[in-house]
Amino acid sequence: MATFTVTSALDDNGAGITLREAIQLARVNAGADIINFDPAVFDQTTITLTLGSLLIISGNDLTINGDTDGDGDFDVALSGDRNGD
């Protein structure tokens, strides 16, 4: 099992690890994986997907944990509005 931490709210290949990059890392890693979000970056944050659809391969045991502060509520949201409207 591997844990990957998203450190960038952007949907690009710039600085930090994006959700898209973390999912790709999990896809090539065998076994169960967890993706967390850095609480210093994500506090009621929306990630807007600007590079098209987000491919998550079924069959991989992948958990994406959007609760950055441990209160049981999600602190990260995804928006598929790539045009920003």
Question: What is residue 84's predicted lDDT score, i.e. its pLDDT?
Answer: 54
> What single letter denotes the amino acid at residue 50?
T
Strand order in the sheet with 62-64: 2-6, 33-37, 62-64
Full 3-state SS string of the chain: CEEEEECCCCCCCCCCCCHHHHHHHHHHCCCCEEEEECCCCCCCEEEECCCCCCCCCCCCCEEECCCCCCCCCCCEEEECCCCCC
Would the pTM count as exceeding 0.85? no
Question: What is residue 58's predicted lDDT score, i.e. its pLDDT?
Answer: 62
The stretch 38-43 carries a mean pLDDT of 91
Question: What is residue 12's predicted lDDT score, i.e. its pLDDT?
Answer: 79
